[in-house]
Amino acid sequence: MNRKIFFTIPLVLSACSTIFNGSSQTITFDSNVKEGIQIYADGAIVCNKTPCVVDIDRHSGPMTIIAKAKGYDDVIMQNKTKIAPAFWGNILLYGMGSTTDFATNAMWKYSQDGIYINMEKKNKTVAEAKQFKQDSAIRHFALYSYGELKIGNPEYITALKELTGKSKQELTTIIANSSTEAELANNLTNI
C-alpha cells in the first residue's frame, strides 16, 4: 500500500504549475479612457474599451502593452514575468514535471494581474495639463495604497485627503463603494 502512495504522489505533483496555473493568465485592463481605446498585448489587439478582462498566453519574456485612443498620446508599457511559485514546488518535490511546465510556459507568471493605463490628451491646455498631473497623482496613490485605504489606515486616508482636497467622510464613502483599485482610482477622479 505504501509503495502505491509513494509512486502516485509524484505523478500527481508533476507539472504543478501547468495543473494549477495553466498556460494562460487572466489580466484585467482599465484606463481613464473608457470608449474608443485600443489595447494591444504583444502586437495583438485585446480590448476596444475598458475595463476588460482577457486571458493571455504566458511566455518567458515581458508582455509589451500599447494603448491607443484618438486624441490621446499612445502609452507603451510592459508587464514583466517571473517564475510561478508552483514551478519551484514542483522542482523541490519531484523535478520531472518541470519539463512540462517549461514546455507549456506555465512556469511563468505575469507580475501584474491588473493593468491601469493612464492616457494623456494631445494638445492640452495648461489647465488640462495641470489637472491631468493632479489626477495622475491621485490615481497612482489609489492604485498602490488600495489595501491600506480599504482597511481604513488613518495615515493613508489623511494623505489622500491632502492629495484630493475631499473631506474624510467623502473619502470614506468613495473607498467603501469601490470594489477594486481601478474603480477607486476612477471614482476619486470622477471618470
Query: Mean pLDDT across the stretch 165-171?
Result: 96
Which three cell numbers, joined as nine digits, stand for 171? 473619502
Local structure of 103: helix, strand or coil? helix
Which residue has 488600495 as its cell numbers? 146
Give the residue among 42, 47, 80, 39 at the shortest CA–CA distance from 64.
42
Q: How far is CA 145 from the centre of its chain?
A: 14
Whole-angstrom Cα distance, residue 177 to residue 31? 19
Q: What angle do CA 58, 62, 67 make, to 5 degrees?
A: 100
Give yes or no for residue 87 having a pLDDT over 60: no
Task: Report domain extents, the chain.
Answer: 2-117, 126-188
Element (H, E) at 108: strand 108-110
Give yes or no for residue 55 having a pLDDT over 80: yes
The predicted model scores a pTM of 0.71
Which three cell numbers, joined as nine digits, stand for 140? 497612482
Whole-angstrom Cα distance, residue 181 to residue 145? 8
Local structure of 130: helix, strand or coil? helix
pLDDT digits (tens, 9 = 90+) for 94-147: 555 555 554 554 566 767 788 999 999 999 999 999 999 999 999 999 999 999
